Structure 1
Amino acid sequence: MKRLVALTMVLLTAGCGARIEPTAATDTVTVTNCGRQVEYATPSRVVTNDTGITELMFALGLADRMAGYVIGGGQADDVDSSPWKADFERVPNLGEQITKELVQGAKADLVFAGWNYGFSESTGFTPDALKDLGIATYQLTEACRNGVGKQRGIMPPLDALYTDLRNLGSIFGVEAKAEELIAGYQNQVSAAEKLVRHKRPKVFLYDSGLDQPFTSGRNAAPHDIIGKAGGDNIFGDLDDSWTTVGWEAVVARDPEVVLINDYADGQATTPDEKRAFLESYQPLADVPAIKDKRFFVLPYAALVESPRNPAAIEAFAKFLAES
């Protein structure tokens, strides 16, 4: 989208000469976010929710446009491992739970979050509620609802990443930086795909859950991470992003590799605890991935939409090629 700048020139005549003075300029841009045309004034006090969303801002060099970020307690390791750790240290950490009161207190002029990445009807923290307070919102494309209940995802995950980078580039006037990042990520993904073998193993993404597993459908980042790295997501037929399934479905789809999300949530919180549960859970005993002990771990911030996705594809591609 082209940046639209309204500039009024006033002609003032004095004596035998004349001078031209500009009035105040208004800078706005319109982008498509979650299927809707949305107009933005250039933000200067952004509040983000979640590690991956925050790192999108940092990757674009926009730390100085932020009033702060909100991340859950289970994401502390992601901050420690982040390529943008220095930005996390200098931008204010506003807490672990995003609320209307928190963003008002930060004097936010834009909230960058997503459904189940901060936005939720159950808490009353929604784009409509923030609009009533005069606060603009940008929704993470991976988390856009697709019109079927609360299911999320309207495009392939990497396309969602590139869409958000381009939209943010337009909103903040850093289009060249956005295109530079996208070109680099596309080259990184292409290089990883050259490692792919002819045989594609079936992969189960295990996020959390003992009674029922939480996993990735085709609209969440793990689907493209698995696919571009040379595997097949066993739940790639589900038109959703992150979703709950049954253990019976996992057994029936017979995965050959388990990709574990390093995210502290639920009863099994560490990768070792998750692996120990999977190896001890009797219904999985005959599943090839469990029998062959083929596990790979990636951090949470690499498995949600984020600028870490291409590096995650590269790392998983190397694992699949060598194992």
Structure 2
Amino acid sequence: MPMSRPALLPLAVLTQALLLTACSPSAGGGAGEADSAADAGGTRTIDNCGHEVTVGAAPERVVSLNQGSTEILLSLGLEDRIVGTATWTDPVMEGLEEANAGIPRLAENNPSFEVVLDAEPDFVTASFVSTLGTGGVASRERFEELGVPTYVSPSDCAAGKDNGSGGDGSRSEPLTLDVVHGEIRDLARVFGVEERGEELVAGLERRVETATEGLDASDVSLMYWFANSESPYLAGCCGAPGAITRAVGAENAFADTHDEWPQISWETVADRDPDVIVLGDLTRESQTAETAEAKIDFLEANPATRNLTAVREERYILLSGQAMNPSIRTVEGVERVADGLRDLGFTR
């Protein structure tokens, strides 16, 4: 609904807006590229998904609109700066329960623009371009007009990502974990905790190395099912599941599909007959077959799927929804898929 919010914006936000500004540059640079120069006052500038985000002081009141973004902030020890979160698919990442406990949940899905402004944010983050776009909470420009800078995960505007192709978009180039690391470094820079960011990235890199050491899963085909039993969302080649698959050295049953999460018929799945099915175990309630239990019940009862090799042999690996999206938990996905393949005897 149209609102004349500038006159109503709280004094605290107006004051902070003098220190934090964001604008859309005439020519956008690569997502997540940080300006290496800082002025005498400590100003930091980050080129983020075509928006130049300039921070003159570390934000004090952050609203994080997606779980993935929230978990990065929590992992950086910034829980005291978060005044609201939204759009969760899973319980919070293990080890962050206490840090997350006191943070207000503004909505289970996208909150309204007004609800976000009521939290008096001086910085807004999101994991997806669509969250701060048409049909989402509000455009980045609407926040920026009020002096509230915004940041979107560079994984959703990385090279080759087309968000205008419908659904969750498509990728012509494979996503890499380096893009997730770039998001961590960007946010650490915004808040002046660069050392924490480097420690977090180094820890994630060590975890991938440990999980995949000595692993040979070549010739093993994986199918990733996120949600929906009628017209299932299955992973295409090049998103987070693709990064997981490459890390463990396996094959994606739908590597020939560039859509992020295409909806594919069960008859086509039967034709591909994947060796292992990786199931999203979600706790939200917006689609059919959200939990892994519901997915398994469907697979074992449906005539089109019950004779799949993976179903007959009960070759399932369970992942959180966040591990199947580009996020700090994609590394968790690498670990669980690697462990699952070993448990199923699919490694050499």
Q: TM (normalized to structure 1)?
A: 0.83
Q: Is the contact between residue 67 and residue 91 of structure 1 (CA under 8 Å) also seen in structure 2? A: yes
1:300, distance to aligned residue in structure 2 (A): 1.9
**Mapped contact 1:195–1:318 kept (Cα < 8 A):** no
For 1:207, what is the secondary structure of its paired residue?
strand
Residue 164 of structure 2 aligns to a residue whose secondary structure is coil
SS of residue paired to 1:30: strand
Summarize deviations over 1:48-78 as a string: whole Å, max 9, x none: 1222221000111111222221134x53xx1
2:335 matched to 1:319? no
Q: Could you say if the C-alpha distance between residues 202 and 181 of structure 1 is closer, same or farther in structure 2, counting changes exceeding 3 Å? A: same
Q: Which of the residues 111, 116, 140 maps onto 1:98?
A: 111
Structure 2 letter corresponding to 1:266 = Q
Quick one: distance in 2 between partners of 1:113 and 1:198? 34
Letter in 2 for 1:95: A
Determine the structure 2 residue equivalent to 1:207.
226
> Structure 1: which amino acid aligns with 2:46?
V
**Residue 308 of structure 1: CA displacement?**
2.4
Q: 1:148 to 1:305 in 2, by over 3 A?
A: closer
Native 8 Å contact 2:111 2:137 kept in 1: no
In the alignment, which residue of structure 2 is the partner of 1:170? 189
Query: Is the 8 Å Cα contact of residues 143 and 152 (structure 1) preserved in structure 2?
Result: no
- 1:122 alignment partner in structure 2: 135
Which residue in the other structure is 2:277 paired with? Answer: 258
Alignment RMSD, CA only? 2.4
1:138 is aligned to 151
- Structure 1 residue 149 corresponds to structure 2 residue 164: yes
Once residues 98 and 220 of structure 1 are traced to their aligned partners in structure 2, the CA distance between those partners, rounded to angstroms, is 26
Taking the aligned partners of 2:119 and 2:254, their CA distance within structure 1 comes to 40
Partners in 2 of 1:3 and 1:169 — Cα distance? 16
Q: 1:35 Cα deviation (Å)?
A: 5.1
Q: Offset of 1:190 from its aligned partner?
A: 1.3
1:144–1:152 Cα contact (<8 Å) kept: no
1:261 maps to amino acid: G
Matched, 1:87 2:102: no
How far the C-alpha of 1:192 sits from its partner, in A, is: 1.5
Mean CA deviation greater in 192-201 or 257-266: 192-201
Aligned match for 2:308, one of 277, 287, 292? 287
Q: Percent identity?
A: 28
Letter in 2 for 1:121: T
* Native 8 Å contact 2:133 2:140 kept in 1: no
Which secondary structure state, in structure 2, belongs to the residue aligned with residue 284 of structure 1?
A: coil
Alpha-carbon displacement from aligned partner over 1:155-180 (angstroms, at most 9, x marks no partner): 61412211101111221111111111
Distance in 2 (CA, whole Å) between partners of 1:49 and 1:310 is 21
Partner amino acid, structure 2, of 1:184: G
Pairing of 1:266-281 with structure 2 (within 5 A) = 266-281=287-302
Which one of 45, 64, 68 corresponds to residue 80 of structure 2? 64
Tell which structure's C-alpha radius of gyration is larger.
Answer: 1
Contact 1:156 1:218 in 2 (8 A): no
* Cα shift at 1:205: 0.6
Q: Aligned pair in 2 of structure 1 residues 202, 315: CA closer, same or farther (>3 Å)? A: same
Structure 1: which 5+ residue stretches go unaligned? 7-24
Q: Look up the match of 2:324.
A: 303
Q: Is the 8 A contact 1:185 1:310 kept in 2?
A: yes
Distance 1:93 1:124 in 2: 15
CA distance in 1, matches of 2:52, 2:269: 39
SS in 1 for 2:127: strand
Write the letter of the residue equivalent to 2:212.
E
Identify the residue that residue 21 of structure 2 maps to in structure 1.
Answer: none
Give yes or no for contact 2:299–2:311 (8 Å, CA) kept in 1.
Answer: yes
1:293: Cα distance to partner?
Answer: 1.5
| Residue of structure 2 aligned with 1:189, choices 208, 214, 225 | 208
CA distance in 1, matches of 2:102, 2:270: 46
- Deviation of 1:86 after TM superposition, in Å, equals 0.7
Aligned to 2:48: 33
Q: Quick one: distance in 1 between partners of 2:154 and 2:80?
A: 23
Structure 1 range deviating more: 217-226 or 292-301: 217-226
Larger strand proportion of the pair: 1
Question: Do 1:262 and 1:300's aligned partners in 2 also have CA atoms closer than 8 Å?
Answer: yes
Unaligned runs of 5+ in 2: 1-34
* CA apart distance, 1:298: 1.3
TM-score by length of 2: 0.78
What residue identity is the alignment partner of 2:294? E
Moved more, 313-322 or 31-40: 31-40
Identify the residue that residue 4 of structure 1 maps to in structure 2: 38
Cα 1:43–1:237, aligned 2, differ >3 Å: closer, same or farther? Answer: farther
What residue in structure 1 maps to residue 11 of structure 2?
Answer: none
